[in-house]
């Protein structure tokens, strides 16, 4: 009964409702071209709205992130590439850099920002190192670095331990402006806190600045455990799939722009 209730809910709400409309148009259309186009749209929308396809899109991004060395796993706060002899002490880090993931106009965090900030805060509680909050307004009125600052202060992070970078509008800007701050403060080794799917592109930009980077693996979007509910279309899965596609395109364009395809962070692009 519960599954039937979920099935009906999925059918009357987007994207399920839109999928049904596309199928209906395809079934009753008199022109073959309209039928084909409608059914293709229905299949694509359904695929992007279910968990297995969402995971499939995030998998190359997060697998690539796991191969970056050194890597800090937020669950156990250590740096490792899987080999004990290559472990690097997190105490060598000079600063923790948290990249903003967006805020709404009412000042509330979007999902990525909240998860990144939590991971950065957990790391701060272990290391007590300066925290650089990187994120401007990107055309909106709210500057996310100040929003992150407010939350960290409420969590009793010392004011003198927080450095605000509020000029950046994208990942490239994040890297450039943070590097300028690090040069002034004589920071050479940073812990880079961002979503797991964003690590390959962020790492590429930050590495170009000459800083030593320890990426922080957090905010994973992968589930990889499926039930019947996993195949019901949901808007959250569609939004996450769209986010993954956008990141794949952005990383691919970055690789092409720097003419560095053989060193591109995504393995499939090197093959």
Over residues 203-212, the pLDDT tens digits come to 999 999 999 9
255: region left, alpha or beta (phi > 0 left; psi from -120 to 50 alpha) = alpha
Over residues 38-60, the pLDDT tens digits come to 999 999 999 999 999 999 999 99
pLDDT of 8 strictly over 80 = yes
Least trusted range by pLDDT, from 24-38, 148-162, 257-271: 257-271
Evaluate the CA torsion angle 167, 172, 175, 179 in order and state its sign. Answer: negative
pTM, 2 dp: 0.88
Under CATH, which architecture does the 55-219+249-269 domain have? Answer: 3-Layer(aba) Sandwich (3.40)
Least trusted range by pLDDT, from 37-41, 77-81, 149-153, 192-196: 77-81
pLDDT of 267 strictly over 80 = no
Q: How many CA atoms lie within 13 A of 73 on its CB side?
A: 10
Ranges of each domain in the chain: 55-219+249-269
Cis peptide before 16 (omega within 30 of 0): no
- Cβ(189)–Cβ(93) under 8 Å? yes
In our burial notation (b when 16+ CB lie closer than 10 A, e otherwise), range 117-137 reads bbbbbbbbeebebbbbbbbbb
């Amino acid at each position: 009964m519960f599954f039937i209730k979920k099935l009906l809910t999925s059918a009357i709400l987007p994207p399920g409702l839109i999928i049904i409309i596309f199928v209906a148009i395809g079934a009753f259309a008199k022109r073959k071209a309209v039928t084909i186009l409608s059914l293709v749209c229905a299949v694509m929308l359904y695929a992007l709205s279910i968990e297995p396809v969402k995971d499939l899109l995030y998998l190359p991004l997060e697998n690539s992130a796991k191969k970056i060395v050194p890597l800090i796993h937020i669950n156990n706060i250590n740096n490792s590439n899987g080999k004990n002899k290559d472990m690097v002490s997190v105490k060598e880090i000079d600063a923790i850099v948290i990249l903003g993931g967006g805020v709404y106009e009412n000042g509330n965090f979007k999902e990525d920002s909240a998860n990144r900030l939590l991971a950065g805060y957990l790391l701060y509680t272990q290391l007590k190192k300066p925290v650089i909050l990187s994120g401007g307004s990107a055309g909106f009125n709210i500057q996310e670095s100040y929003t992150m600052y407010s939350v960290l202060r409420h969590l009793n992070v010392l004011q003198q331990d927080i450095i605000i970078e509020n000029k950046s509008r994208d990942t490239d800007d994040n890297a450039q402006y943070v590097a300028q701050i690090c040069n002034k403060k004589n920071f050479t080794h940073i812990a880079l806190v961002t979503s797991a799917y964003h690590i390959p592109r962020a790492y590429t930009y930050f590495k170009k600045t000459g800083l030593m980077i320890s990426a922080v693996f957090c905010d994973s979007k992968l589930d990889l455990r499926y039930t019947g509910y996993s195949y019901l279309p949901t808007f959250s899965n569609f939004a996450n799939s769209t986010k993954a596609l956008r990141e794949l395109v952005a990383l691919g364009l970055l690789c092409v722009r720097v003419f560095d395809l053989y060193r591109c962070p995504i393995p499939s692009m090197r093959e």
